[in-house]
């Protein structure tokens, strides 16, 4: 699943295949800037700013971990209807840093709001004063280390000076790489659609490679649209579409202190006003937002730490949605299932083990299991068509589909995960360096 980054720079691609880059171009109302604040020992972009010069409606979902980062504590206090900027730093999670970490965010907010206010005076005919309460923050990296307030603060002036109001794919790829930690691949997605008769864009980028398991959001994801949609509508749309996208993935079963997915609407397209998410004129946008979120979520899984295979776990015909989801993640999070797939071993007994430990009442006489198109279990017994030789060939594929039909209801759920390899251990045993 190696992606040739050189192909990105010569591409003209808008497809949503996981292995391909999508070419994000320009979206009105978003300014982008990224640079190195020397947060890493090796120089790389580690500070990214998204600036909404006229403000943006917004909605976010956050981790439900009982220990949350200081930036999330800050964000949860923000009540502004319009957000003016989002600042993202990598290398340091600003979690378990206490009062000093929160005060660091406060100090950055005060400085950044001053700098952006000055930029308003330079760039706008009718400049507005930007307040600290107009800013959101995202942090990712190591937990428990002192937050590098001074390093970040000293680079804010240059970061603001470098804001690009007109973006291209190079600017987007630079920004997407600036939010990575152990990720190997930038993650971008786009859709273009209509609200009523108006053309709108939906752009997204994400980071995530390890400590990926849904507990509301999972990893970091940022969605931008030029559509005119209220914060209330965005909140409902995000809540609806997070369930089968970012809340349907797992790399290692661990939930971060910093999980955050946000959507921003710059309102630059004068589309028809939407007052209800069930409005039929919003249906195409709703579908495309789900597509962007799912594409990003799958890209996170495909880039899981040490991953060699992308695994889809489909639970069909469960009694209820909750049972389907519990079984799906029992399988997706099983180290024994993940290592068997890494070793290209068609040991279906491990799937059966993970199915059983979910502690959901089953009717084994109705149970069917397939690996891709290969029937393994039918009506609770090994399939008469089972062919281990052919199944072994299938296990060499980079994408593995596990399809479990419970036959006891009509509810389905699909989870996405990756295998466990030796590389996963290597990465996480040497994470801080």
Query: Does the active-site annotation cover 181?
Result: no
In this structure, the number of other CB atoms found within 10 A of the CB of residue 63 comes to 23
Q: Which residues pair with 27 in a beta bridge?
A: none
Closest by Cα among 173, 166, 202, 170 to 187:
173
Rounded alpha-carbon distances, angstroms, from residue 307 to 1, 218, 250, 343, 412:
9, 18, 12, 12, 26
Instruction: Please answer whether residues 366 and 395 qualify as being in contact, where contact means their C-beta atoms are separated by less than 8 angstroms.
Output: no
Query: CB within 8 A of 370, min separation 6: which ones?
Result: 376, 401, 402, 403, 405
| Range list of β-strands (E), 252-378 | 260-265, 310-318, 368-371, 374-378
Task: Give the single-character DSSP code of 281.
Answer: G
User: Which tokens belong to 256?
Assistant: 């971060």
Contact 418, 310 (CB under 8 A): yes
Q: Which of 218, 245, 255, 417 does the annotation list as catalytic? A: 218
Closest CA to 209 of 184, 188, 189, 179: 184
The token pair that represents 126 in the structure block: 């009718």
Exposed, middle or buried, 38 (CB in 10 Å: 0-12/13-18/19+)? middle
What is the C-alpha to C-alpha distance for residues 313 and 355, in angstroms, rounded to an integer? 11
Give first-to-last CA distance, the chain, whole Å. Answer: 25
Contact 30, 166 (CB under 8 A): no
Dist CA 156 CA 362 (whole Å): 57
User: Under DSSP, is residue 78 helix (H, G, I), strand (E, B) or coil?
Assistant: coil
Structure tokens at 48: 């990214």
Token duo for residue 169: 């794919």
**Three-state DSSP state, 94:** coil
Q: Is 273:84 a contact under the CB 8 Å cutoff?
A: no
Reduce the DSSP state of residue 276 to 3 states and report it: coil
| Active site residue ranges | 218
């Amino acid at each position: 699943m190696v992606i040739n980054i050189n192909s990105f720079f010569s591409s003209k691609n808008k497809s949503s295949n996981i292995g391909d880059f999508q070419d994000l171009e320009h979206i009105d109302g978003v300014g982008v800037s990224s640079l190195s604040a020397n947060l890493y020992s090796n120089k790389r972009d580690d500070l990214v700013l998204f600036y909404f010069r006229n403000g943006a409606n917004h909605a976010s979902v956050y981790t439900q971990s009982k220990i949350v980062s200081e930036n999330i504590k800050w964000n949860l206090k923000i009540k502004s209807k319009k957000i003016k900027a989002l600042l993202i730093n990598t290398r340091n999670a600003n979690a378990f840093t206490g009062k000093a970490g929160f005060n660091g965010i406060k100090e950055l907010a005060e400085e950044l709001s001053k700098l952006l206010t000055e930029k308003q005076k330079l760039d706008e005919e009718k400049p507005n004063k930007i307040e600290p309460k107009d800013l959101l923050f995202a942090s990712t990296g190591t937990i428990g280390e002192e937050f590098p307030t001074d390093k970040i603060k000293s680079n804010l002036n240059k970061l603001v000076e470098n804001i690009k109001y007109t973006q291209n794919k190079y600017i987007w790829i630079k920004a997407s790489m600036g939010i990575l930690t152990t990720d190997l691949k930038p993650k971008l997605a786009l859709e273009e659609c209509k609200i009523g008769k108006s053309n709108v864009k939906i752009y997204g980028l994400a980071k995530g490679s390890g400590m990926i398991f849904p507990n509301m959001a999972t990893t970091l994801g940022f969605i931008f649209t030029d559509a005119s949609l209220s914060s209330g509508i965005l909140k409902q749309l995000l809540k609806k579409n997070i369930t089968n996208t970012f809340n349907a993935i797992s790399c290692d079963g661990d939930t971060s202190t910093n999980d955050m997915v946000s959507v921003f609407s710059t309102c630059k397209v004068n589309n028809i006003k939407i007052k209800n998410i069930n409005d039929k004129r919003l249906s195409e946008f709703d579908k495309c937002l789900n597509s962007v979120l799912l594409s990003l979520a799958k890209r996170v899984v495909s880039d899981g730490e040490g991953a060699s295979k992308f695994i889809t776990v489909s639970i069909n015909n469960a009694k209820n949605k909750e049972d389907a989801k519990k079984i799906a993640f029992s399988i997706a999070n099983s180290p024994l299932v993940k290592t068997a797939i890494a070793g290209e071993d068609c040991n279906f007994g491990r799937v059966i083990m993970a199915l059983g430990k979910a502690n959901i009442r089953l009717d084994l006489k109705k149970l069917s299991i397939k690996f891709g198109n290969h029937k393994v279990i039918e009506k609770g017994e090994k399939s008469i068509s089972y062919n281990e030789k052919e199944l072994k060939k299938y296990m060499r594929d980079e994408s593995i589909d596990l399809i479990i039909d419970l036959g006891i209801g009509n509810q389905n759920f699909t989870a996405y995960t990756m295998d466990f390899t030796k590389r996963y251990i290597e990465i996480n045993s040497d994470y801080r360096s």
